């Protein structure tokens, strides 16, 4: 038996498992939600702003990072999932003192969040490199 040289680690084993990537992103998203909500202060305004921002961000990321699934798992599923809050939206909608304010909160989420996602997706398309502009032999630039 000859010496085969140094043992090289299997990079796939060294990488953080997908669930850990999502968990770290979710923790950062939740802390960010707490900070933004505290800065805004007023409910249901804070929850509505957070959910709208989260939808714009998720729309942008889901298009811009479509070719980078682990980064999208961290930022999209993880961070945006931890940042946005459907449960607070439901509580604010059901238990708000004013039926008019509750209706406005529901409308802002049901109409505003899909619109925010679509706006973010359009932004994401502008951030993603155009494959037709990449010359043969030229590496596609990856966002850092």
- C-alpha torsion angle, residues 68, 74, 76, 81 (rounded to 10): 160
* Most confident option among 9-13, 30-34, 62-66, 121-125: 30-34
Residue 7 has pLDDT above 80, yes or no: no
Do 97 and 105 meet the contact criterion of CB atoms below 8 Å apart? Answer: no
pLDDT classification of 123: cutoffs 50, 70, 90: very high
* Most confident option among 34-43, 121-130, 132-141: 34-43
Task: Take residue 23 and report the two structure tokens written for it.
Answer: 């968990």
Residue 104 has pLDDT above 80, yes or no: yes
pTM to 2 decimal places: 0.70
**Helix-strand-coil percent breakdown of the chain, rounded to 5?**
70, 0, 30
pLDDT classification of 132: cutoffs 50, 70, 90: low
Length reported for the chain: 144
């Amino acid at each position: 038996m000859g010496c085969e040289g140094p043992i090289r680690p299997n990079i796939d084993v060294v990488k953080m498992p997908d669930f850990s990537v999502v968990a770290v992103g979710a923790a950062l998203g939740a802390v960010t939600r707490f900070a933004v909500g505290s800065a805004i202060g007023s409910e249901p305004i804070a929850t509505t702003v957070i959910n709208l921002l989260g939808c714009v961000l998720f729309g942008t990321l889901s298009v811009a990072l479509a070719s980078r699934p682990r980064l999208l798992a961290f930022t999209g599923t993880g961070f945006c999932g931890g940042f946005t809050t459907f449960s607070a939206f439901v509580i604010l909608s059901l238990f708000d003192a004013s039926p008019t304010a509750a209706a406005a909160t529901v409308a802002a989420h049901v109409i505003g969040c899909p619109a925010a996602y679509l706006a973010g997706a359009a932004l994401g398309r502008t951030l993603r490199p155009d494959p037709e502009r990449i010359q043969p032999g030229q590496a596609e630039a990856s966002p850092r």
